[in-house]
Chains A and B, each alone.
Chain A
Amino acid sequence: MHELAVCQSLMAQVVDIAARENAERVTSITLRMGPLSGVEPDLLAEAFPIAAAGTPAEGAELRFERLPVRVRCTTCGAESDATVNRLLCGACGDYRTRLISGDEMLLASLELERRVSAG
């Protein structure tokens, strides 16, 4: 899978933010993921310690907010739950729907420990 590549990209962002915020350590990272992102949270969690080694995020907790697959029907307007390979309208059954949740792959937030300033 491509989870390590995704994790490396995540770490680049985390390290950059930590440096800008003058953080000594990143204690937790929260990701927002949907199943249609094509990235498996469990595999990402396995890749994370490798990608985080030697960075301020080493040892950080990786949290996932898992988002449901939801569609809005462009025919009848209803919003309904769906599954990854059945994105049909739950109300009228039409396939002409738009995904409104479920393909997210976002860095939502970080928790940081600031450096104690010497002055």
Chain B
Amino acid sequence: MCDTCGCNVTAGNRHLVEAEGKLARTESGREAVAVLQGLLSENDHVAAHNREHFDRHGVLAVNLMSSPGSGKTALLEATIDALGGELRFGVVEGDLETENDAARIRAKGVPAVQITTGTACHLDAHMVHKALHQLDLGELDVLFIENVGNLVCPASFDLGQHRNVTLLSVTEGDDKPAKYPVMFRAGDLMLITKSDLLEVLDDFDPARAEHHLRHLASDAPVLSLSARRGLDLEAWFGWVRAEVGAQRTRVAAGQTSTPKVQPEGRLLHSHG
């Protein structure tokens, strides 16, 4: 529990929520109230609000999730280096402590807001909402949200992003999608990172990683790359460009989009 693993209630999630309860039946003094709403309905409400913000400004929001040390920040640095001339980026960084990652992004001339969660092991929609007040969304095309490095908790919290990208570095083992199904199911794209190390790591097989991902009923594309060595980054850049284009088309049509596997999705099939 909390004291063991470091998770805690976040500053943003304390206040009360509106609930849609209705009286079901009355018995001697006791009453049963049927509710049927998500346990994180307040978070999901704020997430939807964040998404409206992004859409109003035509910004594509991408949530990056992975283990600590899989290369999320290095990927962002390489992406800013390559595409900084054609797209305007902003970054929200989530870590338990330090401004280190935000400093690395700012060194590239890109606005970055660091969220230090203290003991919380994930970002939630409130924390991201608060961070958005420090960014001028009108000046951005893409907002990357670099979640806290953790393959468990971040998957349960919608932040308002349009797409989830999961990273799996080749030093972690190719069966991670089977071990952490909730996380890898949530990805709209899976990146196998640090591919330059494959030649010295004979126990990681990208095909096997993809095999495990398909077993989660995911048809997400899988790309191998090395941000540090600049290997095979073009397909990733192509994905970013295509998603920016798709977001502009949606915004022009007054539409929005959520990641393919969405926490709110539960509500669609919970009444049966």
Enumerate chain A interface residues (CB-CB to B < 8 A).
1-6, 8-10, 12-13, 15-17, 20-21, 23, 27, 31-32, 34, 36-39, 43, 46-47, 50, 71, 84-88, 95-101, 103-114
Tell me the complex Cα distance, A105–B265, Å.
10
**CB-based contact B30/A21 at 8 Å:** no
12 contacts between A and B (CB under 8 A): A2-B152, A2-B156, A3-B1, A5-B9, A6-B39, A6-B40, A12-B13, A47-B1, A104-B270, A109-B33, A113-B30, A114-B29
Enumerate chain B interface residues (CB-CB to A < 8 A).
1-2, 5, 7-10, 13-19, 21, 23-24, 29-43, 120-122, 124, 152-153, 155-157, 177-179, 181-183, 185, 212, 214-219, 261, 263, 265-267, 269-270, 272
Contacts of A87 in B (CB 8 A): 185, 215-217
Tell me the complex Cα distance, A107–B267, Å.
11
**CB-based contact A95/B30 at 8 Å:** no
Tell me the complex Cα distance, A49–B181, Å.
29
**CB-based contact B32/A111 at 8 Å:** yes
7 closest Cβ pairs, A-B complex: A87-B217, A2-B153, A38-B182, A38-B156, A85-B181, A17-B21, A85-B178
Contacts of B34 in A (CB 8 A): 108-109
**CB-based contact B17/A106 at 8 Å:** no
Q: Smallest CB-CB separation from A88: which chain B residue? A: B215
**CB-based contact B270/A106 at 8 Å:** yes
With beta carbons under 8 angstroms apart, the residue of A21, A43, A98 that contacts B23 is: A21
* Most chain B beta carbons < 10 A, residue from A38, A96, A100, A105: A38
Tell me the complex Cα distance, A13–B124, Å.
17
Contact A13/B8 with A101-B269, A107-B39, A109-B32 known, Cβ cut-off 8 Å: no
Contacts of A36 in B (CB 8 A): 181-182, 185
Contacts of A88 in B (CB 8 A): 215, 217
A2-B121, A3-B2 provided; 20 other pairs, C-beta below 8 A? A1-B121, A2-B156, A4-B8, A8-B9, A9-B40, A12-B42, A15-B16, A20-B21, A36-B181, A37-B156, A47-B1, A84-B182, A88-B215, A95-B219, A101-B269, A106-B39, A106-B267, A109-B35, A111-B32, A114-B30
**CB-based contact B35/A8 at 8 Å:** no
